[in-house]
Chain A
Amino acid sequence: MTGPHHLRLLNSRQPAPAAQADESSAVTRSVLVHAARGGDVRAFAGLVDVYYARCLRFALHMLSSRSDAEEAVQDTFVRVYRALPKYEEREAFEPWLFRILANRCRSAGARERRHAELVEYGDVPERSVASGHDDAIAWREEIGLALSALPDEQREAFLMRHVEDLSYEDMSVATGAGVSALKMRVKRACDALRARLTEVGP
Chain B
Amino acid sequence: MIDDRDEMIDRIAGVLRPLPVVDDSAKARVLVAVAAERERDREQATRRTQRRAGSSMRWTIAVGSLAAAAVFGAFVLRTRPQVGGIAAASVAPSPTLPHAQLAARNEASEADAASESVQFVFRAPAASTVRVVGDFNAWDKGRAPMMRDSGSGLWSLTLALRPGRHVYAFVVDDTLWTRDPRAAAAPDADFGRPGSVLLVGRP
Contact = CB atoms under 8 A, between A and B. Distances in A.
B19 interface: yes
Interface in B23-55: 26-27, 29-31, 33-34, 37-38
A186 B1 CA distance: 11
A7 B78 CA distance: 14
A-side binding surface: helix, strand, loop or mixed?
Answer: helix
A4 interface: yes
A195 B32 CA distance: 45
A91 interface: no
A11 B182 CA distance: 25
Interface string B148-167: 00000000000000000000
Interface in B111-159: 119
Interface string A1-15: 110100100110101
A187 B4 contact: yes
A20 B16 contact: no
B62 interface: no
B12 A29 contact: no
Interface residues of B, number: 53
Nearest to B82: A49
A41 B86 contact: no
Contacts of A174: none
Given A52-B27, A187-B1, A45 B78 contact: yes
Contacts of A54: 19, 85-86
B69 interface: no
Interface in B61-107: 75-80, 82, 84-87, 89-99, 101-102
B13 interface: yes
Size category, A interface = 35 or more
B85 A50 contact: yes
B58 interface: no
Nearest to B18: A57
B95 A51 contact: no
Given A24-B98, A194-B8, A77 B30 contact: yes
A183 B82 CA distance: 35
Nearest to A147: B16
Given A41-B77, A50-B85, A15 B97 contact: yes
A166 interface: no
Contact of A49 (B15, B85, B101): B85
Interface string A164-185: 0000000000000000000100
B15 A78 contact: no
Interface string A77-96: 11001100000000000000
Given A41-B77, A78-B37, A10 B102 contact: yes
A52 B8 contact: no
Interface in A148-202: 159, 161-163, 183, 186-187, 190, 193-194, 197-198, 201
Contact of B202 (A4, A27, A70, A162): A4
Contact of B19 (A57, A74, A201): A57
Interface string A28-49: 1101000000000110111011
Nearest to A25: B89
A49 B79 contact: yes
Given A21-B90, A25-B90, A143 B16 contact: yes
B12 A49 contact: no
Given A18-B95, A139-B15, A162-B13, 18 more contacts: A11-B99, A13-B98, A19-B95, A20-B95, A24-B92, A24-B96, A27-B98, A28-B102, A41-B78, A50-B86, A53-B19, A53-B20, A56-B20, A61-B16, A162-B9, A163-B13, A186-B4, A197-B8
